[in-house]
Structure 1
Amino acid sequence: MSPFKEPLVIIGGGQSGLAAAHSALAVGLRPVVLHAGTEPAGSWPDYYDSLTLFSPARYSSLPGLALGGDPDRYPHRDGVVAYLRRYARVLDAEIHTRTRVVAVHGRADGGYLVRTAAGDELSAAGVIAATGSFGNPHLPSMLGQAEYAGDLRHVAHYHRPQAYAGKRVVVVGAGNSAVQVAYELATHARTTLATREPVRLLPQRIRGHDLHHWLHVTGADRLPRTVVTRLVRRAAVLDTGRYRDALASGALCRREMFTAFTSDGVLWRDGTAEKVDAVIFATGYRPDLDYLTPLGVGRNAPRQVGGVSTTHAGLAYLGLEFQRSFSSNTLRGVGRDAAHVMAAVVAHVHGRRVSRRWWPR
């Protein structure tokens, strides 16, 4: 039982928030998870239907509970959702769903006041911002985009290829999601993958083992961002060979990124205008941290080192891309990051030992 009357408030109930709760319990803190969604499964239920993990199950678990089943399988979206539900059930943590945090304020005594959309106020000994980035998809702004009358969306709002049957579709991006979505769309629609550079493919299996086996045994999965960014200059797509074959055969067409939108399509770099029914941007996400605005924290680039805030003691982040390593915002890496940031948070909390009423009656 935690000796602290105020809880550690964890904002976000997905993989990052659940990993944070596990780590908080391990160091004797009392975590309270506030999640805007209807269940503690993060953004996973909203991903596109065919999504599968790029890492095998044996490397894709949170601390304390294995995914189970065949360790060499690549879990489907629905399997991950079921796993997160199970993980939340076995955690001895207080989890509030349908509880959207709208603001976090600092207090003079070093604690925090967390406000929800329902008007409740919660006093906290520390705060973990674990909302990740899915709620803030990055949609680039291009010439003519406002006048385009077709279906324009981010891949965060794409679900299945059948809705595009018989249509002309352009998918923008050179990462795993872009290629996976374009590949499956190509069997239902006339699809082009638009990228600024040729797609870089990495073999999924090397010498009989999945790539993640080698990342694990060599320690490359834990290399710090400064090292990884020197070694990896641009995004790469894991491939069993099907994407390579599809691109080589023309079953999946790749073209250099278009330069502008027209009212009913796009303008390609060679000056050709083409009518396009839909454009799907798979152009990544940015941190979703609007609720930290009262603290003066930047929404897209919070000041932190390894997830520990450099501006506010007792504030930490989880689920940021490359927070500490290549695997930081993944199921296989967020647990390590949670343990790392918790050391700083517990030191802050131990230095305060305040006793306050923390949830309004």
Structure 2
Amino acid sequence: MNTIVIGGGQAGLAATRTLLDAGLTPVLLEATDQTTGSWRHYYDSLTLFSPARYSSLPGLPFGGDGDRYPHRDEVVDYLARYARDLGRGGAEIRTGARVTAVEADTHRGARGGGFAVHLADGSTLNAPTVIAASGSCNRPHLPLLPGRNGFTGQILHAAAYTNPLPYAGRRIVVVGAGNSAVQIACELAETTTVTLATRTPIRFVDQRPLGKDLHFWFTITGFDRLPARLVTTPPTVPVLDEGTYRQALRDGRLDRRQMFTRLDEGDVVWADGSREPVDVVLLATGYQPNLDYLNELGALDETGHPRHDRGLSTTHPGLGFLGLEWQRTPASNTLRGVGRDARHLTRKLTAHLNTHRSRAGV
């Protein structure tokens, strides 16, 4: 074993594949009992924003009609199949292996000498390189809302939303201006009254300009491969739309208002000072990195985000990150883009291993 991969979602699986292809011997550690990442927990109607032909990890095509937008359950099945193929290819995959802490391996020196990875069952694994691929989609970001503690309605994150059935007839405010916020709000609007609360107007992008999916144009223009530093990061990701969502706003089936200023018992207080009783505030406000096991190592900044340069730790040689938003390119945290980042990281860690072996006289 020369590399430990932490996290069995799309990033960890892609990392394991590229490490095997490079002749390395990775061990993949997944805290849950399935190597499908967060996908099986997303809402029932979720479909990919990219067609199947652009949504594969290294070494295994998605399959089927390349122009379709795969459903959530198809993605779960694909990732499970990917993990099985990795196992048949010689990868060691351990489920139910929750990492509690990563430390510098003091037996090999405090810097550059490797890592001790501690598991919840009390065991410890040692390796000269580690990839933290536990994802950025399993720790909901819950913004501070004035009056939240006294709110008598329900507050939940989109991570807890599955389908509209439990919310029929209830007054709902969805907070967010991204794809998930708009999709969930439109779905809820079929059975109840919904308002999208956003700080800025929703930005829409045509999903099929000139009859081709946007990802076709991303591919042929090279946009998906542009270094993140050359692309202005938008405050919110534009909503991909063939016209359905814009029409819902125009028709009044979906309401959009400026973000409310506070919650007051059972009411929201809108920016114009008006107030309205609300049953549910649903936060489609994204996620934060799930990297607490690196706290003691000193590899994170004060906000819990990794200190890195395009996926390589800037504090600990031999430590890499994968699956972060805008890690190297606009597509880094997607099925279509994480494989490129995995190959880049594998090359860098292989070079580190070779240097490490040379210094050790191996």
State yes or no: 1:48 paired with 2:43: yes
How many angstroms does 1:257 deviate by?
A: 0.5
Q: CA RMSD in A?
A: 1.3
State yes or no: 1:32 paired with 2:34: no
- Answer whether contact 2:3 2:24 (CA < 8 A) is retained: yes
Which of 339, 344, 347 aligns to 1:340? It is 344
Which of 65, 71, 75 aligns to 2:70? It is 75
Distance 2:122 2:138 in 1: 21
Paired amino acid for 2:268: V
State yes or no: 1:167 paired with 2:170: yes
Partner of 2:97 in structure 1? 99
Which of 315, 319, 323 aligns to 1:319? It is 323
How many angstroms does 1:135 deviate by?
A: 2.3
Distance 2:115 2:267 in 1: 49
Spell out, residue by residue over 1:123-175, the C-alpha distance to the aligned partner (whole angstroms, 9 max, x if none): 11210000111222111002101111211011111111111011000000000
How many angstroms does 1:353 deviate by?
A: 4.0
Which of 243, 246, 249 aligns to 2:245? It is 243
Partner of 1:295 in structure 2? 297
State yes or no: 1:18 paired with 2:13: yes
- What TM-score do the two structures reach when normalised by structure 2? 0.94
SS of residue matched to 2:103 = strand
Larger mean CA deviation between 324-333 and 233-242 belongs to 233-242
Spell out structure 1 runs of 4+ moving beyond 4 A: none
SS of residue matched to 1:95 = strand
How many angstroms does 1:118 deviate by?
A: 1.3
Distance 1:322 1:294 in 2: 25
Distance 1:342 1:330 in 2: 18
How many angstroms does 1:350 deviate by?
A: 2.3
- Answer whether contact 2:292 2:304 (CA < 8 A) is retained: no
Which of 261, 265, 269 aligns to 2:271? It is 269
Partner of 1:65 in structure 2? 60
Distance 1:233 1:139 in 2: 17
Spell out, residue by residue over 1:27-54, the C-alpha distance to the aligned partner (whole angstroms, 9 max, x if none): 1111111001111001110011111000
Distance 1:166 1:233 in 2: 32
Question: Alignment identity in percent?
Answer: 55
How many angstroms does 1:297 deviate by?
A: 2.1
- Answer whether contact 2:326 2:333 (CA < 8 A) is retained: yes
Paired amino acid for 2:137: F
How many angstroms does 1:234 deviate by?
A: 4.0
How many angstroms does 1:325 deviate by?
A: 0.6
Q: Which runs of 5+ in 1 are unaligned?
A: 1-5, 355-361
Paired amino acid for 2:324: L
Distance 1:305 1:234 in 2: 23
Spell out, residue by residue over 1:166-200, the C-alpha distance to the aligned partner (whole angstroms, 9 max, x if none): 10000000000000000100001111111011111
Spell out, residue by residue over 1:86-140, the C-alpha distance to the aligned partner (whole angstroms, 9 max, x if none): 0000112111111111100011321110011111111112100001112221110
State yes or no: 1:113 paired with 2:126: no
Paired amino acid for 1:262: D
How many angstroms does 1:289 deviate by?
A: 0.5
Distance 1:253 1:8 in 2: 50
Which of 126, 132, 135 aligns to 1:123? It is 126
How many angstroms does 1:351 deviate by?
A: 2.8
Paired amino acid for 2:253: A
Larger mean CA deviation between 113-122 and 72-81 belongs to 113-122
- What TM-score do the two structures reach when normalised by structure 1? 0.94
Paired amino acid for 2:319: L
- Answer whether contact 2:260 2:270 (CA < 8 A) is retained: yes
Paired amino acid for 2:159: A
Paired amino acid for 2:82: Y
SS of residue matched to 1:113 = strand
State yes or no: 1:151 paired with 2:146: no
Distance 1:58 1:343 in 2: 25
- Answer whether contact 2:178 2:236 (CA < 8 A) is retained: no
Spell out, residue by residue over 1:185-236, the C-alpha distance to the aligned partner (whole angstroms, 9 max, x if none): 0001111111011111000101110000000000011112122216x46421
Paired amino acid for 1:343: R
Q: Which runs of 5+ in 2 are unaligned?
A: none
SS of residue matched to 2:273 = coil
- Answer whether contact 2:299 2:316 (CA < 8 A) is retained: no
Paired amino acid for 1:105: E
